[in-house]
Structure 1
């Protein structure tokens, strides 16, 4: 029993140390050299206690890139729309936990071990800034294009394009799609967001498994 307690204590210390180091060691280690092009695109990172999403400003280019969203019932062409919101996560947890009151043990265990992944897509109008759960960043045009490439590549593709998960949504305006990659405790929704932000030319922590650690890293290094 003492050995088990000692092992658990060491494990907890190791996890805490990994999170701390992952937050305060930047990735990439050195900032990129200053570039001439002016940052013209404003993206948002939205967070809740366990998850982060990326909100991409909508224009004709973005609508064309993700044209399948309208066909699948997402009103990406709606008047007054400002952002399309993308998130990547655990299939079981995402689909089976629309609210905290519906939290179940099995989806949590799958998310902590190994699970298939899904993309969640939603839309938004004006998003208030500043806000504790919203972080905005200005990026250059070519980095914005690279970010769209990264997001598009996260969708699993079939013969007819992105694979919609039927009868899976939180509201009338969002949808779920099959995604590439597998979800686990080490590679989760927040590390996906961090990878996307690095593609966008921003610096994150070396490993950001939690929204709070990602948010802090972004504040420090950008």
Structure 2
């Protein structure tokens, strides 16, 4: 019993140590862009965080609507008068598509997330947001950084033979969202929050080296990019 307890404590201590390193060690070590919010132009994006997941909220500007024109092809109303943001998140296919609420959680979804699952992108139409809403963090990007973010998000979709994102039929939560096939496998250790961090890094925003949980990602932004994130 004591040996088993010692092994468990050692594993917990190792995991905690790795998360601490992942938080305090910046990635990349040096900036490749000008400071994200200080280049020409300014674009405000938001990170929406709950205890296990983060989404990226893009402003629904004409430029962004053009990049997401495929949503209109697939039946979403990009001309809706209340549309102010386009919400994008990446995750495991089973957990993401089968679990709109915690009451829908299944052992299959948990097992696939804990091992390896195919990935999907969830895209939803959203309304106006305020920076002081709980769970929201604003990140300011210059023109070049914002363009790089949009390119990285677009490259996360697994294209069909015609080059367009592949819609997953009958997987939406409601009338204002869709799921699409995504690139790369999903695993809890390299999951939705590490994808969000990778998108930010594509825009020149430094994050922690490894941020598998939302608090780690948000703390790493406070630590490494205090002028860009608020």
TM-score by length of 1: 0.94
Task: Show the counterpart of 1:92.
Answer: 94
The answer to whether the 8 A contact 1:58-1:81 is kept is yes
Report the Cα offset of residue 25 of structure 1. Answer: 1.4
Aligned partners of 2:39 and 2:141 also within 8 Å: no
> What is the CA deviation profile of residues 122-171 of structure 1, one whole-angstrom value per residue up to 9, with x for unaligned ones?
11111121233000011111111111111011111112321101001111
Q: Provide the rounded CA distance (Å) in 2 between the counterparts of 1:121 and 1:33.
A: 27
Between 1:55-64 and 1:166-175, the stretch displaced more is: 55-64
Shift of 1:74: 2.1
* Runs of 4+, deviation exceeding 6 Å: none
Q: Tell me which moved more, 176-185 or 11-20.
A: 11-20
Report if the CA contact (8 A) 1:23-1:216 is conserved. yes
CA distance in 2, matches of 1:75, 1:8: 51
Q: Tell me the distance in 1 between the aligned counterparts of 2:151 and 2:160.
A: 17
Q: Where does residue 175 of structure 1 map in the other structure?
A: 178
CA contact (8 A) 1:86 1:121 kept: yes
The answer to whether the aligner puts 1:219 opposite 2:222 as a matched pair is: yes
Give the one of 184, 189, 207 matched to 1:186.
189
Per the alignment, residue 25 of structure 1 pairs with 25
Query: What do you get for the CA RMSD once the two structures are aligned?
Result: 1.6
1:165-186 CA-to-partner distances (Å, cap 9, x unmatched) read: 1001111100000100000122
Q: Which stretch has the larger CA shift, 129-138 or 164-173?
A: 129-138
What TM-score comes out, normalization by structure 2 length? 0.91
- Runs of 5+ unmatched residues, structure 1: none
Partner of 1:148: 150
For structure 2, list consecutive stretches of 5 or more residues without a partner in the other structure. 226-230
Indicate yes or no: 2:68 matched with 1:52.
no
